[in-house]
Each structure stands twice: as C-alpha cells, then as structure tokens.
Structure 1
Amino acid sequence: MATAQPKPTPGVAALPVANRGLLTFGVMLATIMQILDTTIANVALPHMQTSLGATADTVTWVLTSYIVASAIAIPITGWLSDRIGSRNLFLLSTVGFIIASALCGMAQNLEQMVAFRLLQGVSAAFMNPLSQTVMLDINPPERQAKAMSIWGMGIMVGPIMGPVIGGWLTDNFNWRWVFYVNLPLGVICIALLWWLLPSRPVRKRQFDIFGFSMLSLGIAGLQLVLDRGQTEDWFQSTEVWIEMLIAIIAFWMFTVHMFTAKNPMFDRDLWKNRNLVTAVLFMLVIGLVMMATMALLPPMLQTLYGHSVFDTGVLLMPRGVGVVLTMAISAQLVQRGLDPRWLVGTGFMIAALSLWEMTHWSLEMDSTPVILSGFIQGLGLGMIFMPLQGMAFATLPPQYRTEGSSLMNLTRNIGASVGISLVTTILSRSIQTSHAALAPNISAQTFDGLDPGFLQALGGVGQTAYAMADAEINRQAMMIGYLNDFWGMAIVTALSIPLVIFLRRPKGPAEKPDPAAAGH
C-alpha cells in the first residue's frame, strides 16, 4: 500500500522544474512519436505486404503486435517507475523505442518485423502513462486541465496524423522511412528529457508476478483467438478452443487475484474510484472505434477508390482538424464551469452519428463524404478526451496517477487490438458471404436475350468478360464488408453513451481526494 500524499497546493507543482515549457515540448515529442507508430504504418501496409512476403490477413500483425506488446507491458509501469525511478524508466523506454524503430526499418521478412514491433511496443508501453504523469506533476493544480488538454491533443491527433506522414514518406521515399523518421526525433527527445526531466521518489514495492502473468496470458490468448480464428474456421478448430479457454481462465484468475491478493498489480482502491472506472470503460470504446476506423480506412480508400498513399493520408487529416478544434474549445468550456459530462455525452453522440453516416457510403461517391464524416468524427472525439481525463484524474489522489494512467492506456490498447482484429474478421467474412450471395445473380442467364453459350463461344474474350464481372462482384462484396464494420462500430459507440450517468462532476482541479478512492 502506498503512503498518503499531501493534498495538492494551489500554485505549487508536485515536481517543480527549471523550464516547464521546454520539458513539456520534450515530453509531448516522445508522446506523439510513439503514438504515431500505432497508425503511421497503416497506409504503408500494402507496400509492406509485398516487400515482406505477407498475406492480407497476416500483414495486420504489424499493427496488432505493437498494440498487444504495449497492452501486456503497460501494467508494470507503476511498479517499474517506483523501482528504478520514473526518470530512468522514461529515458530507457525512449532509447529502446528508437533502437526498435531502426530495427523495424531494416526488417527483411514478416517474422522479423513482428519481433521488432513487439520490442517497439514494449518500449512504447511505458512512455504514454509516464508522459501523462509528468504533465500532471510539473504543473500546479490550476494548470492541470490545460496540461491534460495539451497531452490529449497529442494522443488524439497522433493516430490521425500518422497516415498523412506515413503516406508522404512512403510515396517520396519508401515504407521503411515510416520507422526511420523516429531516429532524429528521438535524439532531440532524449536530449531534452536527460537535461530537464525530474524523477518521482524511488520506493521498493513487491512485484505481483502472478497477477502480471495471468493478465499477460489472458491478453495474448484473446489476441490469438482474434488473429487465428478467421484462418482456422473459429470454433471448428481445436487450437482456437484452447486459446479461448486459456484467455478465459487467465482473465478469471487475474480478477480473483486482484481482489484477494495482499499486493495486487493495481491497487484495489483504484477500482473504488467511480470516475476512473467509468473512464476506463470509455477508453475501451475509444480504442476500439478510433483505432479500428484508422485501420480500415487506408486500405479501403486505396483499394476501392484508387487513391494514392499520400492522398489517403490527406483525406484522413480532417479528423485531426476536428479533434484540435473541439479539444481547445472543450478546455475553455470546462474552465468556465460547463459540466464536462455534457461534453463527453455529446462527443460520443457526434462520433456515433459520423459512423452512421459512413454506413451510407457507396462506390460511386466522391471524396466529400470521407472528408465530412472524418471531420465530424474528429469533432466528437475532441469533445470526449480532455473532459474525460479531467474527471478521472481530478478525483484521483496524486500517488495513484501513474497506475491510473497505466490502467487507462491498457484498456485503450486492448480496445484497439480487439477492434482491429474484429473489424478485419468481419470484413473477411462479409466479403465471402456477400460474394457468394451476389455471384449467382451474374451469369449469361440473367441477361435477357443473351444465348448462354455466347460468352463461351467467344473464347478468351468471354473469359475476360467473366473475370471483369467477378472483379466487380468482389468490389461490391468488399464495400458491403466495410459497411458492416461501420454499422457495428456505430452501434457500440451509441450503446456506450449511457455510461455518462456514472461519472461524478469534480469540484475543481484541486479537489479533495475522493473518500471512496483514498483508502490509505
């Protein structure tokens, strides 16, 4: 159990620094650099697939391996930070991230790429919660809402700007530069952190190896079910059954252990904080919807609409514009006294509306619906993030910040990993079933007055005509698959809106810790 911390004092930061502005730049550079890597590779996937000898199903491991590795490593951030010091952990993770980025750029096959992305994901896991904790620690209570707004912009805009930067690098250099670009940025980041970054006190704390093992096993088992299910025919396969049982048993044992162990991985008092628990559930939905959407759209725009890699990134940019716009406005509205719960609820409604609009897309449309729906979705996401973070951390005692941040980042990563795997699976199955339903309707018999043997008599020309018809059926089936994914994400987003009623409005940035969350 952590010892009680002093109540935050207005005007005084928990960890004062000599140059807060420059350190903020360094911390945000690290945050944006690692969060970009969750999506910067998306638009380059078709190029990687060819270069690495992967298939359309297996190349997505480049995305999910990074996210899963981060999800598994995030829970030990708090323990490592206490054990070796938050400054040392931040610096080590940044150096590891840069080395892993260089290795990813040099990968020669899919196996190497997945291994290096796992290393990159483990390094990145610690950067997000530590950066959030630093932003809270170096700012006095009355500036923490603004600090979270700045941090949130990096978290939300990073994945959206990733495809733009990745597209430009792929078009003008090659896909390997989506990883090499981290090297010069990383050197600047390490220099600033080495110079200015303070450290939280080091304290010895027992590591919950059983809880960590069960959580890691559960996450890995669930991801294997989602990744292997489609190729192994789901529960017709013994392998998938075994992986699912391992995941269920591991998650169950982790849950029981969490509420019965003497020193669990996450302090039990975290689960008594209503705002944090609700925010964790919201982050699960944000990870699922946002990251799954960003994984779907690049291949859709390139394959079905014929856009270049860079043009695809540009078409996705309006999301970032919407996020920045409403995030800045939200921060001002909260400071002026607006109940942040209204912003969160409205943001989710707008995001659900944008996904519903995407279910009306067609193969004949131009780029306007893509731009408009992306901008609207960005408006909704920007309204959610800062108020949600503010409500979660305003009621959380300072000593729990790193663990609370780790928990929220963990659930966002799990949501992203599960979301990408689910939408990929739904897309594949929808293409198969839609093609099977559409194909019988296209034959010589369906055209009035056409002799069934006419196309066969044409020889090669007739075969070409059949191939063209089949290609069009594939396009239509693929479009149906994407629309099914959009429907699913719209429903999940809409169903999450009632969670707002469980949020409690904080009294202010320096609010007295929630009695339900302060059991120390």
Structure 2
Amino acid sequence: MAAKGFNRIIIIITTISAAIMELLDTTIVNVALNQMAGSLGATIEDVAWVVTSYAIANVIIIPMTGFLAEYFGRKTYYLASMIIFTVASYFCGASEGLWELVFWRFIQGVGGGALLSTSQSILFDAFEPKDRPIASGLFGMGIVLGPTLGPTLGGLIVDNLTWSDIFYVNLPIGVLASILTILFIEKKEGEGTRKKQIQIDYLGIFLLTAGIGSLQFILEKGESEDWFDSHLIILFTAVAIVGLISFVVWELYTKHPVVNLKVLKHRTLALTLIFTFVSGIGLFTSVFVYPVLVQRINGFTSTMTGLSLMFPTLIAIPMFPIIGKQMAKGARPVPFIVVGFLLFIAFGIWAGTLSGDANMWDFFPAHLLRVLGISMLQLPLINQAVAGLQPQEYPTGISLNNMVRQLGGATGIAIANNYVTNRVAQHRSDLMSNMTSENPLFMERLNGITNTMASRTGEFFSATQMAYRQMEGMVMKQAYLLAYLDTFRIVSLFFIVIFPLIFLLRTPKKSQEEAQKAALAAADSH
C-alpha cells in the first residue's frame, strides 16, 4: 500500500538521502587524495586504493541486492546496510594508517551497495502505481546529485577542515536515516519469512565476487600498474575472465541463482544495459576529468571546482520530476533517450573547445548541457530497463542496471586515465617540434623570457637555462590541456557510436490498467 502525507515525505527524504550519501562517497574523496597521502605518509598511487576498494565492494554487492533483500527481508537488509555504512564511515575518518582506511572503505562500500536498489524499491512503494514514474524522477535526482555534490562538499571540507571530515559528514545523515527507517518504513507482508526456504548460491556469490571484483580492480588500477606489463594485472585479468565466464554459465543452469541472468534474453533489457553503460561513462568520467583539468590547468581551488559543478546541476534538477510526470502520463522513454544522447554529444564537443584561461562561468553552458543530458537519460533508462520484464524479474533488471552504470563509470575513468597519458606524450612531441631556432615566434618568446630573467639575475647563461625550463613547463601545461579536452571529445564519441542502436529499442505497449498492475507487482517483488 502506498504511503500517504507525512509518511510519504519522510520516506522520500530517507531513501533519496541514502542514495545521495552512497553515490556522494564515490566522488567526495577525489579532491582529498593529496591531503590523505600527506597525512598518512603514502604515495598518491597507494592512496588511490581508498577509491578502488569502495568501488570494488560496491560493484560486487549491487547485483546481489535483490537476493539479499529477499533472504533477510528488505527493511532488515536496508537498515543493516545503512548502519554498516555509517559505522564504517566513522572508522574511515578515525583511521591512522592507509590500509586501515582501505579496509573500512571496502566495508563502507559493502554497506553502501544496498542503498541504491533498495532505496529505489522502497521509494516506489510509497507511490501509487500510476505515480511511480514520478518516484523514478525523484530517485534520478539523487543519482545525479550524489556524484556532482561529492567534489563540491569535498572541496569545501578539504579547504576549511581536514580530510577525515569528509567521512564524518555521513554520520548525522546515516543516524537520522536509520532512525527514520525504523520508525516509518514498514515491512511488507511476509517479508523475511522465506529465509529457510531460500537456498544460498554460495558458488555463484564466490564467482561473482572473484569475476566482478577482479574486473573492477583492473579498471581502477590498470593505468597506475602499466596495464599488461604488470604481472598483477595479468593475474587479475585471468581471474576476471575465468570468474565471469564461470559465473554466467553457472547462473544460467543452477536452479537457485544469486543473479537471474536469464532476464538478459529480453532484448529491451540487453540493449538498455548498453545505453546505461555509456551513460555511466558520461556521468562519472566527466565529473572525474573536469576537476583535474581546472585545478591543474585553470588554477581553480577545490571549492571553486565544486561550485562550478553544482550551479548548473541545481538549475537542471527540476527536469527530473517534470520528466517523471510525463512518463506517468504514458510518454515513451525512447524520445527522451535520443535527446539525452544528443545533449551529451553536444557537451563533449563544447567542453572540448574551452581554453586554459576559462573561468567557472565559461564552463557553465557545457555543464548545463551535461546535466540536462543526464536528466533525459536516467529516468527513461530505468523505465526502459524493466519495460519488457515480468514483474518477478524487475529486481534483477534494476540491480543489473545499477551495476552496469557503475561499471561504465569505472571503465570510462580507466579509459580517460590511459588516454590522457598517451595524448599528453603526443601533444608534447607535437609542440616541442615547433621549439626550434628556425621558428621566429619561439625565438622571440625565448629571448623575451631570457632577457627578463637576465635582468633579475645578471647572468645570461643561467637565464637562458631558466627560460628553457619555463618554456618546457608551458609546453607541458598546454599538452595536458589539449589531452583533457580530447578526453571530453572521446566521451562524445562513445555516445555517437552507440546512438544508432537507440532505434532498435522497443517499448512494449500496455494498457494503463496493465501498466499499473505491472508496477504494483514490481514493487511487491522488491
């Protein structure tokens, strides 16, 4: 039964806050890695495990949320996950060593993995079937706000407090959300009573953990480990291949799979997962590349970086309930997906033309295109993912959709890291080819810098050496700028390549009564 009045408002606040909190922690640490490294006496490469461990735990647990919610009972599992996440957040902030912090980040990721799919199903239950697209719109706001607010909040905290406080900020939210869950989220009829009847797929869980965990490790650490020049990456690649192939075969043939992969026989879901994967690349890669670009090249502080992401996001946020209302009236998802892809293509092209002198408002139009594109994609893709499924298959469809979005983000970031490294080398080589005595513009700039240095030091030879070093620094800065701008264009390229597949999508037509019954059954199956 749908919630009413005050109870519904509390459920909306609780579930969206939990989803934002989980996704916020995927990006909030990105602006604090330097401070963590200095405080913990670790290298940047080692401290990156703080990000990697959370992502690995997340992507392992997300596809199992449907099974775990059914086994333990949805409310019990949701509350336990929130408590685990909150307690782990405290110990992350209190950690005194790198590997202690990495351990608690993994535990935090285990708890956080349930907060996406389970929050979504609880929120759906608070609405009548005909209004559930509006619930999807509200949840879509959380999906976008989380990764976007991460750098903003992280920047404010790092600039004014300490890195530990980026974890402590979860404590009041987690405690309040846990109390509200106990008081206002009701157990569904029969919830948790089938525990003894459910057989646990231990082998499936092991293979999923090994396969997906290894794949996520490769994506997160491949660049820093020199990819296949590293024996560690080769080992994890072998584990990922064997684990994932074995997992797929086992889940297709076992009677009690932890993840029902047979839902992928539905073409609509299989195609939608491709679009969700690419949208994950766009959502997470753009938020990853942009802060590095503007802090390294444009001289933004962490706070300025966060605010420049937040302002266009806040403007575009009202699009989510508007799209939700349109979906509730029967609007098809495909036209929204088309517009979303076009907006993201425009974002990548526009962002790829900006300069190293651009200020935060120069980036504003590009970011507005990005957030409008995301708003056009998230809710329609969620609805399209379950469009062709039977009600009992909905939890698996939603969990796979959420997992694929996270994997898309990890893949995009891995590609961006590798691509930037290669493009910097290429751009440096191209730029250096112009630094010759035959180039009058170069000689004019070099002589100008040399004369300035000589007037300060009184030594012409040392001034010439300093001028060359300064020119080298200018070349490297320009090479990085061009490489980051190329990366925005690569994000657009993914959307361009996949775009024609949109026209293969079909949304099964249902009467309003059938749609409402299916939505109600879907909520009952969560």
TM-score normalised over the length of structure 1: 0.88
Structure 2 CA distance, aligned partners of 1:332 and 1:355? 29
Structure 1 CA distance, aligned partners of 2:39 and 2:432? 32
Does residue 169 of the first structure (1) align with residue 162 of the second (2)? no
Question: Paired residue for 2:470, among 461, 468, 471?
Answer: 468
Shift of 1:79: 2.0
Question: Paired residue for 1:186, among 150, 158, 174?
Answer: 174
Structure 2 CA distance, aligned partners of 1:322 and 1:62? 32
Structure 2 CA distance, aligned partners of 1:388 and 1:175? 35
Give the AA of the match of 1:217. Answer: A
Indicate if the aligned counterparts of 2:8 and 2:126 stay in contact, CA closer than 8 A.
Answer: yes
Match of 1:120 in 2: 108
Indicate if the aligned counterparts of 1:67 and 1:414 stay in contact, CA closer than 8 A.
Answer: no
Specify whether residues 443 and 34 from structure 1 end up closer, same or farther in structure 2 by C-alpha distance, changes over 3 A only: same
Question: Paired residue for 1:503, among 502, 506, 509?
Answer: 506
| Range moving further from structure 2, 179-188 or 429-438 | 429-438
Q: Deviations over 1:7-65 (max 9, x none)?
A: xxxxx54x899822212222222122112111222233333343334444444433332
Find the residue that maps to 1:504 and give its secondary structure: coil
Structure 2 CA distance, aligned partners of 1:262 and 1:108? 46
Indicate if the aligned counterparts of 1:75 and 1:407 stay in contact, CA closer than 8 A.
Answer: yes
| Range moving further from structure 2, 380-389 or 187-196 | 380-389
Specify whether residues 402 and 209 from structure 1 end up closer, same or farther in structure 2 by C-alpha distance, changes over 3 A only: same
Match of 1:4 in 2: none
Structure 2 CA distance, aligned partners of 1:184 and 1:237? 42
Specify whether residues 486 and 109 from structure 1 end up closer, same or farther in structure 2 by C-alpha distance, changes over 3 A only: farther
Shift of 1:374: 0.3
Shift of 1:312: 0.7
Find the residue that maps to 2:475 and give its secondary structure: helix
Indicate if the aligned counterparts of 2:252 and 2:260 stay in contact, CA closer than 8 A.
Answer: no
Match of 1:486 in 2: 488
Indicate if the aligned counterparts of 2:123 and 2:135 stay in contact, CA closer than 8 A.
Answer: yes
Indicate if the aligned counterparts of 1:354 and 1:376 stay in contact, CA closer than 8 A.
Answer: yes
Give the AA of the match of 2:320. Answer: M
Does residue 477 of the first structure (1) align with residue 470 of the second (2)? no
Structure 1 CA distance, aligned partners of 2:98 and 2:418? 20
Does residue 67 of the first structure (1) align with residue 37 of the second (2)? no
Structure 1 CA distance, aligned partners of 2:23 and 2:426? 35
Give the AA of the match of 1:489. Answer: V
- 1:206-355 to structure 2, matched below 5 A, reads 206-355=199-348
Find the residue that maps to 1:369 and give its secondary structure: coil
Shift of 1:440: 4.9
Specify whether residues 293 and 62 from structure 1 end up closer, same or farther in structure 2 by C-alpha distance, changes over 3 A only: farther
Structure 2 CA distance, aligned partners of 1:509 and 1:219? 39
Structure 1 CA distance, aligned partners of 2:437 and 2:115? 60
Match of 1:392 in 2: 385
Shift of 1:358: 1.4
Match of 2:124 in 1: 136
Structure 1 CA distance, aligned partners of 2:133 and 2:255? 34
Indicate if the aligned counterparts of 1:103 and 1:116 stay in contact, CA closer than 8 A.
Answer: yes
Does residue 439 of the first structure (1) align with residue 459 of the second (2)? no
Q: Deviations over 1:457-504 (max 9, x none)?
A: 734433322221121121112112212321221111222223333231
Indicate if the aligned counterparts of 1:211 and 1:258 stay in contact, CA closer than 8 A.
Answer: yes
Shift of 1:397: 4.0
Give the AA of the match of 1:502. Answer: L
Find the residue that maps to 1:94 and give its secondary structure: helix
Structure 1 unaligned blocks of 5 or more? 1-11
- Work out the number of aligned pairs and report it: 503
Shift of 1:382: 0.5
- 1:138-157 to structure 2, matched below 5 A, reads 138-157=126-145
Does residue 421 of the first structure (1) align with residue 377 of the second (2)? no
Match of 2:19 in 1: 31
Q: Deviations over 1:60-105 (max 9, x none)?
A: 4333321221001122212221221111111111111111111222
Specify whether residues 364 and 268 from structure 1 end up closer, same or farther in structure 2 by C-alpha distance, changes over 3 A only: closer
Sequence identity (%):
30
Does residue 85 of the first structure (1) align with residue 73 of the second (2)? yes
Shift of 1:174: 2.3
Give the AA of the match of 2:373. Answer: G
Match of 1:8 in 2: none
Question: Paired residue for 2:86, among 98, 109, 112?
Answer: 98
Indicate if the aligned counterparts of 2:284 and 2:412 stay in contact, CA closer than 8 A.
Answer: yes
| Range moving further from structure 2, 439-448 or 267-276 | 439-448
Structure 2 unaligned blocks of 5 or more? none
Shift of 1:394: 5.1
TM-score normalised over the length of structure 2: 0.87
Find the residue that maps to 1:43 and give its secondary structure: helix
Indicate if the aligned counterparts of 1:160 and 1:317 stay in contact, CA closer than 8 A.
Answer: yes
Find the residue that maps to 1:366 and give its secondary structure: coil
Structure 2 CA distance, aligned partners of 1:360 and 1:18? 48
Indicate if the aligned counterparts of 2:248 and 2:261 stay in contact, CA closer than 8 A.
Answer: no
Structure 2 CA distance, aligned partners of 1:100 and 1:506? 45
Indicate if the aligned counterparts of 2:282 and 2:409 stay in contact, CA closer than 8 A.
Answer: yes
Structure 1 CA distance, aligned partners of 2:12 and 2:65? 20
Shift of 1:175: 2.4
Specify whether residues 25 and 325 from structure 1 end up closer, same or farther in structure 2 by C-alpha distance, changes over 3 A only: closer
Specify whether residues 128 and 448 from structure 1 end up closer, same or farther in structure 2 by C-alpha distance, changes over 3 A only: closer
Specify whether residues 137 and 337 from structure 1 end up closer, same or farther in structure 2 by C-alpha distance, changes over 3 A only: closer
Specify whether residues 58 and 431 from structure 1 end up closer, same or farther in structure 2 by C-alpha distance, changes over 3 A only: farther
| Range moving further from structure 2, 121-130 or 337-346 | 337-346
Does residue 45 of the first structure (1) align with residue 38 of the second (2)? no
Q: Which has the higher helix share?
A: 2
Find the residue that maps to 2:30 and give its secondary structure: coil
Indicate if the aligned counterparts of 2:216 and 2:407 stay in contact, CA closer than 8 A.
Answer: no
Shift of 1:268: 4.3
Structure 2 CA distance, aligned partners of 1:493 and 1:178? 33
Shift of 1:122: 0.8
Structure 2 CA distance, aligned partners of 1:154 and 1:482? 27
Q: Deviations over 1:181-214 (max 9, x none)?
A: 1111111111100111122422232222222222
